Amino acid sequence: MTPLHLSHYTASSCLGHGLDATLAALRQHRGGLTPCRFETVHDLDTCIGEVAQVDDCPLPAPLAEYECRNNRLAWLGLQQDGFDAAVEAAIARHGRRRVGVFLGTSTAGILQAEQAYRRRDPATGALPDDFIYRTTHNTYSVADFVRHAFHLEGPAMVISTACSSSAKVFASAARMLAAGLIDAALVGGVDSLCLTTLYGFNSLELLAPEPCRPFDTERNGISIGEAAAFILLERPPDSLDARAVLLLGAGESSDAHHMSSPHPDGLGARMAMSAALQSADLQATEIDYINLHGTATPSNDAAEGKAVAALFGDRVPCSSTKGATGHTLGAAGGLEAVISALALRHGFLPGGVNTRQVDPGIAIQYLTDNRAVAPARVLSNSFGFGGTNCSLVLGRAG
Amino acid sequence: MKLTAYLDGIGLLGPDLDNWDTAQPILAGAVDYAPRAVVVPPPLTLPPAERRRVGLPVKISLAVAQEAITAAQANAGQLASVFASSGADGDNCDVICRTLASEDRQLSPTRFHNSVHNAPAGYWGIASGAMTPATVLCAYDGSFGAGLLEAMTQVSVDATGTLLVAYEAPYPEPLHAKRPLPAAFGLALVLMPHQGPHTLACLQVELSAGPVDQLANPDLEALRRQVPSARSLPLLQALARGHAERVVLEYLEPLSLAVEVQPCR
């Protein structure tokens, strides 16, 4: 694909609001997972990555119909690092119809429906009048919210392919730009804590009691997190700062195997990584760091490890940053693209946190400490339920 | 900027629209339209264990996808796919919300993995064996338009054959009162980068600001207005008539999608 410039980006997660807080936590090799006390969820023995002060961020009055945790998290995220001003500048450059909005989420504002069901009319069973399905619960609500917040008039959608959602938006946005339908794309992911995912992953016995330990011998499940990550993608200008970050390639595939288990040999994952390399016109030897999907379930990490080892051997330093951020599900692809961009921009490899004993059965070079090596090209993996896989290649301009 | 693709196969399922072959004369106006409950065939392409677990959206998607693939004589394993729906599995969502609002919040693992928006794409992969990219999207009432645009960009930019599947299934109460979808509906289009022996029509799609086409038949127009995937009906009607036509479909305000249909046989 033709490289695209990440002309502005930001992320908010349990590591903090915005890039400075995120970078500081990564530099200090520090995570943000804490025991779950979310909402009324006091009976699950697990840790979560909760974004601070989401509840303190009401939406402006003209956008009040979008009120829900997911859109509040989106709004909080848009205010960081001057991202909102960057979007306005892109609109000024290209026009309202030439800026697309492509966001990933898995559960959107489902928490609003979960809470509304507790307030059903005792006589009729009806949901309360203040529950608005379209602007909260519906999967599209977060992209609709962002499109309205900036008065945009271009193409938009939410991609909802579980935990690959906000990686796949990069691929779709790149196609829209290549087709000439738009000149800039606001991409990323927003996914927020809710009962469906907490009790759902609990039902699958996939929640770790302690902060998750990707690629550890004793890894025993995920820690659910939440995040808002936004990236503005544009065609690169004629000259770029050497530290500018480009999207070089994207690869997508399906496992065609099982709804909630990965292909045991990571075949789909391998196909997505190969496709991303091909899209970037790069060889495996030209990748300097891999931000793994690395959820910390025994089967996911084993399958991904096999796929990475098959393509890259143990030559490429790899880590999962989910030990620090938790698994932010539909926001993970966007969040980890931003973390990859930080690694490229600031010249370091973020080691995984919480991992004490790297699984010797997985033949990859897993980093448990930060490394002061400046990568030029990074691969980021995102895989999800339903056997959906997406890998992105990001690179430094110079 | 016009995006071009060649339509090789159609699958359709809706009220009184049991499949493309029987729906074609209805949409062309040669046979009366008499809305009745949708009959959804069982997903026989899934292994028995999976077949028992799936909800209505999966059954609808698999039925129309298979019909379109068969009509196109295409190899599902070589087609990328785009699944577009304004909602997921409403029955499943209702059970999850009821359970989470009750004293005992324990969910069934199957309920949980079926709750993802990409469940139909996941089951399609299991049924067809396709390891190709599958994109699953939502744009509320503009979901069909968004799906068509995504599929057209895949065909024209990646030069890959793409299966577009759009579908809705109604929510049960109490969500139905908040999102009243009156009927299940689904369609599938096999879109190819080059004309082939099975090509039915050439489609050229561009962003437009023009007013959206309506249908003359009031019952079909009601279906178009009420079900997002049925926003495709003006296109299906043009294909059923078999004439060269330009139709304008709903997308996201202020944009619509203009589609030029050029029959190839």
pLDDT in tens, B39-98: 999 998 999 888 888 999 999 999 999 999 999 999 999 999 999 999 989 999 999 999
Interchain pair B114, A158: CB under 8 A: no
pLDDT in tens, A33-69: 999 999 999 999 999 999 999 998 899 999 999 999 9
All residues of chain B having their beta carbon less than 8 Å from the beta carbon of residue A388 are 118, 121-122, 134, 136
- Cα–Cα dist B202/B189, whole Å: 12
pLDDT in tens, B19-54: 999 999 999 999 999 999 999 999 989 998 888 889
Interchain pair A259, B96: CB under 8 A: no
Domain harbouring B83, CATH code: 3.40.47.10
- Cα–Cα dist B116/A71, whole Å: 19
Interchain pair B139, A114: CB under 8 A: no
Domain that holds residue B152: 10-194
The residue type of A368 is T
- Cα–Cα dist B196/B191, whole Å: 11
Q: Per the structure, how many domains does chain B have?
A: 1
pLDDT in tens, A164-219: 999 999 999 999 999 999 999 999 999 999 999 999 999 999 999 999 999 999 99
Average pLDDT over residues B118-133: 96
All residues of chain B having their beta carbon less than 8 Å from the beta carbon of residue A106 are 116-117
Catalytically annotated residue among A36, A163, A194, A212: A163
Over 80: is that where the pLDDT of A130 sits? yes
Q: Domain spanning A4-396: which superfamily?
A: Thiolase/Chalcone synthase (3.40.47.10)
Structural domain includes residue B261: no
ipTM of this complex: 0.98
Cα A202 to Cα A293, A303, B103, B106, distances in angstroms? 20, 21, 16, 8
Band of the pLDDT at B206, cuts 50, 70, 90?
A: very high
Q: Is A17 a catalytic residue?
A: no
Over 80: is that where the pLDDT of B265 sits? no
Share of chain B above pLDDT 70, in %: 100
Average pLDDT over residues A253-269: 93
For residue A179, give the nearest of B101, B118, B157 by CB distance.
Answer: B157
In 3D space, the residue among B264, B144, B179 whose CA is nearest the CA of residue A135 turns out to be B179
Structural domain includes residue B255: no
Amino acid B88: pLDDT: 86
In 3D space, the residue among B155, B156, B136 whose CA is nearest the CA of residue B146 turns out to be B136
How many angstroms separate the CA of residue A305 from the nearest CA in chain B?
19
- Residue pair A186/A230 in contact by the 8 Å Cβ criterion: yes
How many angstroms separate the CA of residue B9 from the nearest CA in chain A?
22
In 3D space, the residue among A348, A397, A377, A391 whose CA is nearest the CA of residue A25 turns out to be A348
pTM of the model: 0.98
pLDDT in tens, A67-103: 999 999 999 999 999 999 999 999 999 999 999 999 9
All residues of chain B having their beta carbon less than 8 Å from the beta carbon of residue A159 are 135-137
Structural domain includes residue B187: yes
Q: Is A327 a catalytic residue?
A: yes
All residues of chain B having their beta carbon less than 8 Å from the beta carbon of residue A307 are none
- Residue pair A63/A148 in contact by the 8 Å Cβ criterion: yes
Catalytically annotated residue among A5, A8, A17, A327: A327
Q: Is A212 a catalytic residue?
A: no
Catalytically annotated residue among A5, A8, A263, A293: A293
- Pairing of the two strands B256-263 and B245-250: antiparallel
Q: Where are the beta strands (DSSP E) in chain B?
A: 3-13, 80-84, 134-138, 162-168, 185-192, 201-208, 245-250, 256-263
Q: Facing residues of A35 across strands? A: A47
> For chain A, what is the radius of gyration of the CA atoms?
20
Nearest-by-CA chain A residue for B114: A259
Least confident of A258-262, B143-147, B212-216: A258-262
Amino acid B49: pLDDT: 85
Structural domain includes residue B212: no
Residue A396: which H helix or E strand, with range? strand A388-396
- Residue pair A104/A192 in contact by the 8 Å Cβ criterion: no
Mean pLDDT taken over chain A: 97
**Matching residue, tokens 């895949």:** B154
Band of the pLDDT at A107, cuts 50, 70, 90?
A: very high
CA angle A96, A192, A187 (to 5 degrees): 30
- The DSSP letter of residue A97 is G
How many angstroms separate the CA of residue B73 from the nearest CA in chain A?
21
Amino acid B143: pLDDT: 98
Least confident of A194-198, A259-263, A318-322: A259-263
Interchain pair A259, B137: CB under 8 A: no
